[in-house]
């Protein structure tokens, strides 16, 4: 048996051995094999990462916008050149099939392309001679050191798409806490960042650690902002602690996205979209559609069609090109999904399709869960209200549009919401009245492009500015308004050196 590689952490542009005694295993989700170990970095090492970012900030923040944009263009090309390498690594450690893993990498490239527009997107405003002899302009200035606390389910897109590009393009430096379940993709990108991206040392730093050590990112005065993606419980904690210490916070948290399927919808197309959204990435994404609220008149037909299509999905090794549904991230997560399924049965839901005992020949130790369908999920059943984060579809039934919308809006999460209909009136009403922050009309996964904010609501987000789009630019910058006056002979005589003197004119 080959020796398991022990990974390092990255500060000052170099990889260093941790002094920790605790290492965390990273598994191949398809085989169950431990493929690496990452350090649970000490508090001193997390502090070292902050110090590295703080040391790099003064010089990096003064680099011109055009130079930063040129570096972002180069970095985008590096990511494109290594897309297939990173795709395989993402599939191996997480369990996404190859197409989904490739999408993870491409979704890191897209915000990088947006960051290339920084000379334009960061522009403030200016007014020439707002009053006689006085000019005023507002600039967007970088904050300093910013922290990113990453989840396991998008090891490329979230740290290297949502967190790094806009942060560094606007002149900040970064400390990333990579997810301990899936750090390898992020670590490889970190290597490329310095080896081929050519960025100055310390602009981005990477650690792996537990929640205890990462608390330093919420309290250290050198850290000016924190971006987090994860559970609502942890997100609320991060928001309250970091905000109490004067930091900006973006906390993207849990979801329980609902689709409203009306009787006038194209049922075949809608079911295909629901299959893709619900079971894609094995349901391990906050923009999945784990709940379908279906009009009673077509409910039985829809459930039968959903089951038929779900049963045809090829479940298999993540890096097998034929696989449509890969494994979930690890054994503990598989158990959690199976426990949630049983809880739904215990609460009275009807089990239409059971994926708990899924076994893939040749990969018997992999963490596989097949498509699962629970019908007749009623109000008050926790399985229909809480995030399962797996390939489980909950079916709720409604009489009409109004009842369906009410069922959806009762949920405490409001990340995304979708309607399938051919009726323009209902589509427009849904757009206006749904609580969901990202809305799909006959679109199963209403994730906006990087040019728009990822805009969850209610208990799916805590903060003021969302990630990406102009919200992201504003989050990573502070406004500085400058008023300028230059004296001349006339102004000295007429007292035009103060606001009072200017208004007198």
DSSP string, 237-298: HHHHHHHHTT-EEEEE-----EEEE-TTS-HHHHHHHHHHHHHGGGG-STT---EEEEEHHH
**For residue 498, what pLDDT is reported?**
55
d(CA 462, CA 96): 28
pLDDT digits (tens, 9 = 90+) for 22-50: 999 999 999 999 999 999 999 999 999 99
d(CA 163, CA 185): 15
Phi and psi, residue 11, nearest 5°: -140, 155
> Are 248 and 144 a contacting pair, CB within 8 Å?
no
**For residue 321, what pLDDT is reported?**
97
> Are 436 and 257 a contacting pair, CB within 8 Å?
yes
Give Cα 359 to chain centroid, integer Å: 30
DSSP string, 307-368: HHHHHTS-B--TTSTT-SB---S-HHHHHHHHHHHHHHHHTT-EEEE--TT---TT-TTS--
d(CA 183, CA 405): 39
Q: What is the reported pTM?
A: 0.95
Class of residue 96 by CB neighbours under 10 A (exposed 0-12, middle 13-18, buried 19+):
buried
The neighbour count for residue 455, using CB atoms within 10 Å, is 22
**For residue 500, what pLDDT is reported?**
55
d(CA 112, CA 82): 14
d(CA 251, CA 162): 12
SS3 for 38?
Answer: strand
**For residue 505, what pLDDT is reported?**
42
**Catalytic-role residue among 90, 281, 286, 398:** 286
**For residue 504, what pLDDT is reported?**
45
**For residue 184, what pLDDT is reported?**
98
DSSP alpha helix (H) spans, 23-97: 43-61, 65-81, 83-94
**For residue 496, what pLDDT is reported?**
53
CB-based contacts of 290, cutoff 8 Å, min separation 6: 256, 257, 278, 283, 387, 388, 392, 393, 394
**For residue 2, what pLDDT is reported?**
64
Beta bridge partners of 438: 416
SS3 for 136?
Answer: strand
The Cα-based distances of 272 to 267, 309, 331, 445 in angstroms read 9, 8, 29, 12
Beta bridge partners of 467: 454
d(CA 354, CA 361): 18
Closest of 203, 117, 228 to residue 469, by C-alpha: 117
DSSP string, 265-279: S-HHHHHHHHHHHHH
> Are 456 and 415 a contacting pair, CB within 8 Å?
yes
d(CA 298, CA 422): 15
- Residue written as token pair 């797996």: 390
d(CA 290, CA 391): 8
pLDDT digits (tens, 9 = 90+) for 166-214: 999 999 999 999 999 999 999 999 999 999 999 999 999 999 999 999 9
The Cα-based distances of 149 to 22, 114, 180, 252, 476 in angstroms read 20, 22, 11, 11, 15
**Residue 209 among the catalytic residues:** no
**For residue 335, what pLDDT is reported?**
98
Q: Where are the beta strands (DSSP E) in 133-188?
A: 134-142, 145-149, 173-177
Question: Domains along the chain?
Answer: 23-253+460-481 (3.40.605.10), 258-441 (3.40.309.10)
Rg (CA), the chain: 25
**For residue 488, what pLDDT is reported?**
79
DSSP string, 352-387: EE--TT---TT-TTS-----EEEESPPTT-GGGTS-
**For residue 487, what pLDDT is reported?**
85
For the chain, 505 residues long, give each residue's pLDDT as a single digit of tens.
Answer: 468 999 999 999 999 999 999 999 999 999 999 999 999 999 999 999 999 999 999 999 999 999 999 999 999 999 999 999 999 999 999 999 999 999 999 999 999 999 999 999 999 899 989 988 899 999 999 999 999 999 999 999 999 999 999 999 999 999 999 999 999 999 999 999 999 999 999 999 999 999 999 999 999 999 999 999 999 999 999 999 999 999 999 999 999 999 999 999 999 999 999 999 999 999 999 999 999 999 999 999 999 999 999 999 999 999 999 999 999 999 999 999 999 999 999 999 999 999 999 999 999 999 999 999 999 999 999 999 999 999 999 999 999 999 999 999 999 999 999 999 999 999 999 999 999 999 999 999 999 999 999 999 999 999 989 999 999 999 999 999 999 998 877 666 665 555 555 544 4
The neighbour count for residue 419, using CB atoms within 10 Å, is 29
């Amino acid at each position: 048996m080959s020796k398991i590689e022990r990974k390092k952490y990255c500060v000052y542009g170099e990889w260093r051995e941790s002094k920790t005694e605790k290492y965390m295993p990273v598994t191949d989700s398809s085989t169950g094999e431990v493929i690496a170990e990452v350090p649970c970095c000490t508090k001193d090492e997390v502090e070292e990462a902050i110090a590295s970012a703080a040391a790099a900030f003064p010089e990096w923040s003064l680099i011109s916008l055009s130079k930063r944009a040129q570096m972002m263009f180069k970095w985008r090309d590096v990511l494109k050149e290594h897309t297939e390498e990173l795709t395989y690594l993402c599939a191996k450690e997480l369990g996404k099939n190859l197409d989904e893993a490739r999408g993870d990498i491409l979704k890191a490239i897209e915000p990088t392309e947006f960051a290339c527009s920084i000379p334009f997107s960061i522009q403030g405003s200016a007014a020439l001679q707002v009053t006689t002899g006085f000019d005023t302009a507002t600039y967007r200035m970088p904050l300093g050191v910013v922290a990113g606390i990453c989840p396991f389910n998008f090891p490329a897109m979230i740290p290297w798409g949502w967190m790094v590009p806009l942060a560094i393009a606007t002149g900040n430096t970064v400390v990333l806490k990579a997810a301990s379940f899936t750090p390898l993709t992020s670590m490889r990108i970190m290597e490329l960042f310095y080896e081929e991206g050519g960025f100055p040392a310390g602009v981005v730093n990477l650690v792996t650690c537990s929640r205890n050590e990462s608390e330093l990112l919420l309290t250290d005065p050198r850290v000016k902002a924190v971006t987090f993606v994860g559970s609502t419980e942890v997100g609320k904690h991060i928001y309250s602690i970091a905000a109490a210490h004067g930091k900006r916070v973006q906390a993207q948290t849990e979801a329980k996205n609902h689709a409203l399927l009306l009787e006038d919808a194209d049922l075949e197309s809608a079911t295909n979209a629901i299959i893709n959204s619900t079971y894609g990435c094995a349901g391990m994404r906050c923009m999945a559609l784990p709940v379908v609220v279906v009009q009673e008149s077509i409910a039985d037909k829809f459930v039968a069609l959903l089951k038929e299509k779900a049963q045809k999905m090829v479940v298999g090794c993540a890096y097998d090109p034929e696989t449509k549904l890969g494994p979930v991230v690890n054994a503990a997560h598989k158990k959690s999904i199976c426990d949630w399924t049983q809880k739904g049965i215990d609460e009275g839901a009807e089990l239409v399709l059971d994926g708990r005992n899924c076994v893939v020949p040749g990969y018997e130790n992999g963490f596989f869960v097949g498509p699962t369908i629970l019908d007749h999920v009623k109000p008050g059943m926790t399985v229909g209200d809480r995030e399962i984060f797996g390939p489980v579809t909950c079916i709720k039934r409604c009489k009409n549009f109004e009842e369906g919308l009410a069922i959806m809006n009762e949920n405490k999460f409001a990340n995304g919401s979708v309607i399938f209909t051919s009726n323009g009136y209902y589509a427009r009403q849904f757009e206006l009245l749904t609580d969901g922050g990202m809305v799909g009309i006959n679109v199963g996964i209403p994730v906006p492009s990087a040019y728009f904010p990822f805009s969850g609501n209610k208990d799916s987000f805590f903060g003021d500015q969302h990630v990406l789009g102009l919200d992201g630019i504003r989050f990573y910058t502070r406004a500085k308004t400058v008023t300028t006056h230059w004296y001349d002979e006339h102004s000295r005589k007429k007292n035009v050196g103060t606001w009072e003197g200017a208004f007198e004119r």
